[in-house]
């Protein structure tokens, strides 16, 4: 079992990466970064088009929704006059002047030095022990300070890969092991291996209520967006709601007066899968307020830790297996409930 634990501090990068906006940006950039002014002429094929639609064709590196936001923010003129309505109709030959401001997403994909706990690294991949509280990928509300930003800062190779080599994610408040690619062949092979269920991912979970019934269970319950609360996921009926099959293996390790320590193995990798399945079993994770948990045993974040990760090396075929020790907060929670860390 590989258990090397070097702490590697990221070094600053010389060149920032940028991505074009995607549909779904909900705010214009508030930044000191330089904006680009661009002058455009409406071709005959866009006579009668809305301003935002024509801009999407003439400035394809930005999304239509984001360009519409720029128009509403006063960044566009047509024939020298300010136009603030994306639905403004154009004529062939009209001149459009628009100030193309950086998007929040484009500014998110920049290197930010941070200390990362690197368990293993070779030419093609790295294994990271992610702390609770670290967001994996930039998203609305978390445009900086993510694992992706740290990877861009510490590794030149990450800048050549989609998503800096990230092939799977952990929730912000879940701690533990993640594999990231350092080469494109490794990235493609890891994505395929995860999809084919050839990557073993085991978690330790501290859940409410003592466990009853069989010590091992296979949960097979599809997961989709909760039709009553779009901010969370839920077990759904695929005949009536959109969703995907989801399977989790659950094993009781120890019981306590107030709850239980479980080992959970992902058979599939759906959003919030373990959290949703344990809530369905009426054993929500400690401190997972989104799915019915509550703070307990001193924990204020969901009690889930990606303890074990095993797979064949995507290039050499060598079997690799890694284990991450419990972080201090989870270890203290187990002690508070009189539980011991399993071997």
Among all residues, which ones are annotated catalytic?
Answer: 171
Distance (Å, whole) CA 32 – CA 27: 15
User: How much is the CA Rg of the chain, to the nearest whole Å?
Assistant: 24
How far apart CA 53 and CA 89 sit, in angstroms, is: 10
Q: Give the C-alpha separation, 252 to 214, whole Å.
A: 8
The packing angle between helices 51-58 and 64-72, to 10°, is 130
Decide: 286 and 257 in contact? Cβ < 8 Å: no
Of all helices (H) and strands (E), which one includes residue 328? Answer: helix 328-336
- CB-CB contact of 246 with 273 (8 Å): yes
Please report, in angstroms and rounded to a whole number, the separation of the first and last CA atoms in the chain.
13
Distance between CA atoms of 317 and 106, rounded to whole angstroms? Answer: 36
Nearest one of 229, 217, 203 to 302, comparing CA atoms: 203
Within a 13 Å sphere around the CA of 93, how many CA atoms are in the beta-carbon half?
A: 0
> Could you give the CA distance from residue 152 to residue 181 in angstroms, rounded to a whole number?
12
CB 8 within 8 A of CB 116: yes
SS3 readout for 129-145: EECCCCCCCCECCECCC
């Amino acid at each position: 079992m590989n258990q090397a634990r070097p702490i590697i501090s990221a070094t600053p990068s010389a060149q920032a990466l940028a991505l074009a906006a995607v549909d779904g940006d909900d705010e214009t950039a508030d930044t000191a970064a330089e904006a680009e002014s661009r002058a455009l002429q409406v071709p005959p094929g866009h006579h009668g088009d809305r301003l935002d639609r024509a801009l999407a064709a003439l400035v394809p590196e930005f999304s239509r929704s984001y360009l519409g936001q720029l128009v509403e923010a006063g960044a566009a003129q047509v024939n020298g006059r300010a136009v603030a309505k994306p639905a403004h109709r154009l004529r062939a030959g009209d001149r459009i002047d628009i100030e193309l401001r950086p998007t929040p997403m484009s500014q998110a994909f920049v290197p930010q030095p941070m200390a990362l706990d690197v368990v293993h690294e070779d030419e093609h991949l790295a294994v990271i022990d992610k702390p609770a509280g670290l967001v994996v990928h930039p998203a609305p509300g978390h445009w900086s300070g993510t694992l992706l930003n740290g990877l861009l800062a510490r590794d030149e190779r990450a800048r050549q890969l989609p998503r800096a080599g990230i092939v799977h994610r952990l929730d912000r408040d879940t701690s533990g092991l993640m594999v990231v690619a350092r080469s494109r062949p490794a990235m493609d092979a890891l994505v395929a291996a995860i999809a084919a269920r050839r990557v073993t991912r085991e978690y330790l979970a501290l859940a409410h209520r003592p466990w009853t019934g069989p010590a091992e269970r296979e949960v097979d319950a599809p997961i989709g967006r909760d039709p009553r609360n779009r901010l969370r996921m839920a077990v759904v009926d695929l005949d009536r709601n959109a969703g995907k099959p989801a399977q989790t293996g659950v094993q009781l390790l120890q019981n306590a007066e107030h709850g239980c320590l479980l080992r959970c193995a992902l058979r599939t990798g759906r959003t919030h899968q373990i959290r949703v399945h344990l809530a369905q079993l009426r054993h929500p994770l400690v401190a997972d307020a989104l799915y019915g948990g509550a703070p307990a045993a001193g924990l204020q974040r969901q009690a889930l830790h990606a303890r074990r990760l095993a797979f064949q090396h995507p290039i050499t075929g060598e079997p690799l297996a890694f284990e991450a020790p419990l972080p201090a907060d989870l270890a203290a929670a187990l002690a508070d409930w009189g539980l011991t860390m399993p071997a």
